[in-house]
Amino acid sequence: MSELHDKVLSQLQNQFPEAVTFSGDERDFPVFHIEKKNLLEVLKFLKSEMGFQFLTTMCGIHYPDQGENEFVLMYQLHCLPTNERIRLKCMMSKAHLDVPSCTSIFPTANWMEREAFDFYGFRFTGHPDLRRILNMDEMNYHPMRKEYALEDAGRDDKEDKYFGR
């Protein structure tokens, strides 16, 4: 593990003993899986106490084969003075896609949360304007979920297995 990983993990475990369910290094990023109930407190702590002032990325991910943890919100934070970056992941089931909005901590999350709502169906409680951002309001589904075939059923020249499914 990296020195940054150990430093952040130690601080998180001291401040939030039960919040971190997994930690490790993935592709040169320290990664921490955070319980949803602790997410806002952890983000506030990382920003105010550890200097991770910049939310570079927040996005949804769908892993349909992961059972109760099939939906993930991924946050990447950057400490500009030290040029350190970390990644947080918050996992949940399809039945529990309600997540507290972090727009009060990181105003830049506004559009990122709207995108995650639009494409995956995450519902950000406390968001100032949660509505579709790129798709039509009339859509009654979330197109980035891996619940839909990549091609229409009438075609026999293309199979999902050739597209990673």
Q: What is the pLDDT along the chain (165 residues), one digit of tens a residue?
A: 799 999 999 999 999 999 999 999 998 899 999 999 999 999 999 999 999 999 999 999 999 999 899 999 999 999 999 999 999 999 999 999 999 999 999 999 999 999 999 999 999 999 999 999 888 888 888 888 888 766 666 666 666 676 666
> Would 157 be classed as within a structural domain?
no
pTM: 0.88
4 exposed, middle or buried (CB, 10 Å; 0-12, 13-18, 19+)?
middle
Structural domains counted in the chain: 1
How long a stretch of residues is the chain? 165
Residue 160 lies in a domain: no
- Tell me which residue range forms the domain holding 46: 3-152
**H or E segment and range at residue 135:** none
d(CA 51, CA 69): 29
Residue 164 lies in a domain: no
Q: Please report, for the domain that includes residue 84, its CATH number.
A: 3.30.460.80
